[in-house]
Amino acid sequence: MKMNCIRCGAEIETIHEHDDNSKPEQKMWGDGVVDVIAANYGSKHDGEMYLIAVCDNCIDNCLLSGKIKWRGNYMAGSNGFFLK
C-alpha cells in the first residue's frame, strides 16, 4: 500500500505488504507515519475522520519549526508517554 505525504507529497509505503486485513493506520510504514485524525466540535468538518500520511523528513522539519509538538513515545512504557 502507498500514500503520499500531506505536506511534501513524498511517497510512503508499507514495509511488509501482505493481505492481513489490518487497517492502514495499523500497518508498518517506511519513512513516515500514517494515522487517522478526527475533527472535533468547532470545525466545519466536525465528526469527520481522515487517513493522513506525513513523511519522516516533514515531521523533523515541522518539529524544528514548531509547527507540530512532540507528545510522547508510546513504546516507552508508562514513564514515556507525556501529555504536554
Report yes or no on 8 lying in a domain: yes
Report yes or no on 51 lying in a domain: yes
Residue 36 belongs to what domain range?
2-69
Q: Model's pTM, two decimal places?
A: 0.82
Cβ-based burial of 54 (10 A; exposed 0-12, middle 13-18, buried ≥19): buried
- Please tell me whether residue 35 adopts helix, strand or coil conformation: strand
- Please tell me whether residue 29 adopts helix, strand or coil conformation: strand
pLDDT tens-digit profile, the chain (84 residues): 999 999 999 999 999 766 677 899 989 999 999 999 999 999 999 999 999 999 999 999 999 999 999 888 777 766 655 555
- Spatial neighbors of 21 by CB under 8 A, at least 6 apart, are none
Report yes or no on 31 lying in a domain: yes
Report yes or no on 78 lying in a domain: no
Q: Find out whether 79 and 30 touch, Cβ atoms under 8 Å.
A: no
